[in-house]
Amino acid sequence: MSTKFFRLSFVLILFHMFSYGQSEDMVRIKGARYVPLYGRDSTVVEVKDFDLDVYPVTNEQFLNFVKKFPQWQKSKVKKLFADGMYLRNWKNDLELNDGEKLNSAATYISWFAAKAYCDCLGKRLPTMDEWEYAAMADEKDRDARIKKSYNEQILAWYEAPRTNEYEVGRNPKNFWGVYDLHGLVWEWTSDFNSVLISGETRKDNEKDNLFCGSASLGATDLMNYAAFMRYALRGSIKANFAIKNLGFRCAKDIEIP
C-alpha cells in the first residue's frame, strides 16, 4: 500500500482520538459477580470487563462536540431530546456563561445528548450495574461498601453545595484509577430508568418500584443511604431532562481480537 494511504489512516486515527478534546483516557475495570444494592435473595449481577473514562466529560469537550454536530447546540436541539433547561449555563450555542469553567463537568445535558456524544466516539454510556460496580471502590479497595467511612464521605459530598462548579479531578482517584464518581456531579447511565428491581438482572415479571415499601425489602444494604439517593434520582427523571448537577462519562466494551 502507498505511503499516502498510511498517512491518511494515521490522520484519521488522530482525528478520532482528539477531535472533541477527548483523548483515549480510559481505564480498564476488571469485572466480577457482585450483589448490587437492590436484589432479592442475594441476587448476583455479573459485570464483564469494560473500559471507563477516567474523568466526567467536561464543558470544553462538550463544546467541541456541538461545534462538530450543530444539531446538539442549544438553539437547535429538538425538544423531544432535551427540555428547556438544556445547556442553561451557556450564553448561546458556542459560549459558556461568565464564570463557567471549561474543565468543569458538563451538566444540563440530557440523556439523549450524552448518549450521542459517547456514540460519536465509538463509546457508550455505562450501564447502571457497571457504574455502581466501579463506584463502590474507594482509594484502596474495589468494594468499600462495608466501610462506615466510605458511606459517610459520599454523603458528605452529596450534601456539599455547588460541587458541579469544581473542575474535574478534584477528588482522589479510586481503586481503578477513576476520578469523581462521587463528590462532583451525578451521572447518567444507559439504563437509568430501569429502577424496577427484582429477580435475576431485573428481567423477570415481578417488578417493585423503588419508592414502594416492598422495594426496600429487596435492598441488600439498607444502610447504604448514598446509593438509595442515586437510585431515587434515577427513578424520578426522564431522558430529556437537563439538570444542574447531572453530567456523564463514557464507557466502552473491550474488543476481543
Annotate 33-59 with b (16+ C-beta within 10 A) or e (fewer). Answer: ebebbbbbeebebebeebbbbbbbbbb
Q: Is the pLDDT of residue 231 over 70?
A: yes
User: What pLDDT shows up at residue 193?
Assistant: 85
pLDDT band at residue 52 under the 50/70/90 scheme:
very high
User: What pLDDT shows up at residue 128?
Assistant: 95
Q: Is the pLDDT of residue 215 over 70?
A: no
What top-level class would CATH report for the domain 27-253?
A: alpha beta
Look up residue 74 and give its amino acid.
K
Longest Cα pair distance anywhere in the chain, in angstroms? 67
**What average pLDDT score do residues 97-124 get?**
98
Round the average pLDDT of the chain to a whole number and report it. 83
